Chain A
Amino acid sequence: MELEDWVLDIIVCPKCRASLRAEDAASELVCTGCGLAYPVRDNIPVLLVEEARKP
């Protein structure tokens, strides 16, 4: 997973709109607000609530 800083400045959690923290080891984006973890597949963040892993 190689997301540049400018991407993390724009994307947010679609559920609560808090910012996302990159967890490179798990290839996930974790919401700093509600904790939902979004998968990143082939370097494409999948920012869908129904695809997120609950904390």
Chain B
Amino acid sequence: MTIPLNVARLDHPRFSAAAAGARLGGVDSRGVRAFFEQVSAQWDDMRSSFYNEDVIDALAEHGRVTAASRVVDVGTGTGFVAAGLAGRAGTVTGIDNSPAMLAVAARNLAALDAGNVQLVQGELERLPFADGSVDVAVANMVLHHAPDPGRMLGEMARVVRPGGMIAVTDEVEHPYEWMRAEQADVWLGFTPAQVEGYFGQSRLAGYGYASLGTQ
């Protein structure tokens, strides 16, 4: 199983814009949530075949995370990235729509004794965070589960302050159709043009795109 991962970086979000995106495949956000409700206990083993700690380094670097940063981890799942950023950021708020995944995240974070991490249950395309309330928004391997990736990125742009950063890691476009059924993937990765389109919809001041290599 080798899927190349890329990180996309955006500078200086100003404000959000609603985006209309076409949905591919038969999975909607309810289906995605149902999938993660079922696999929550096994997810930390399952995901290790798709990515490792390198994504945390990439998100911290491209998101310019500092010890003072207020970070939101969108689609935190079992809290892998939130736990990894806890020691590098001021605060980390992890949000997910699956209570079973959040229950695992709570256990993982309790073991870490990270006092600066808060978990929240909510919808990723309707983030319950105030406009411009954080410095950095990150999302690791979440965008391909979003029925409307442009809307999700638009929400991330809305909650980040002007001058803040958004960092996203995800798969590049791949042909593995089976991942729709077995991984509840809505999108089979993304092309640079797709990502550029989503970011353009969010009216961000700039963005970059970097390869994380194949994991």
Chain B residues in 8 Å Cβ range of A13: 128
Band of interface residues on A: 20 to 34
Chain A residues in 8 Å Cβ range of B136: none
Contact across chains for B120 and A44 when beta carbons are under 8 A apart: yes
Query: Given contacts A44-B120, A44-B121, A47-B121, is CB(A11)–CB(B106) below 8 Å?
Result: no
Cα A31 to Cα B94 in complex, Å, equals 21
B28 within 8 A of A: no
Band of interface residues on B: 20 to 34
Contact across chains for A10 and B106 when beta carbons are under 8 A apart: no
Contact across chains for A44 and B130 when beta carbons are under 8 A apart: no
Q: Decide if the interface of chain B is mainly helix, strand, loop or mixed.
A: mixed
Q: Decide if the interface of chain A is mainly helix, strand, loop or mixed.
A: mixed
Beta-carbon contacts under 8 Å, B164-215 to A: none
Chain B residues in 8 Å Cβ range of A42: 103, 106
B91 within 8 A of A: yes
Beta-carbon contacts under 8 Å, B124-140 to A: 126-131, 133-134
Chain A residues in 8 Å Cβ range of B121: 44-48
Contact across chains for B70 and A6 when beta carbons are under 8 A apart: yes
Chain B residues in 8 Å Cβ range of A41: 99
Render B108-126 as a binary contact track against A, CB cut-off 8 A, 1 for contact.
Answer: 0000000000111111001
A residues near B (Cβ < 8 Å) are 3-4, 6-7, 9-14, 17, 19, 41-48
Can you give 11 contacting A-B residue pairs, CB < 8 Å?
A7-B93, A9-B133, A11-B93, A11-B120, A14-B127, A19-B130, A42-B106, A44-B102, A44-B120, A45-B120, A47-B120
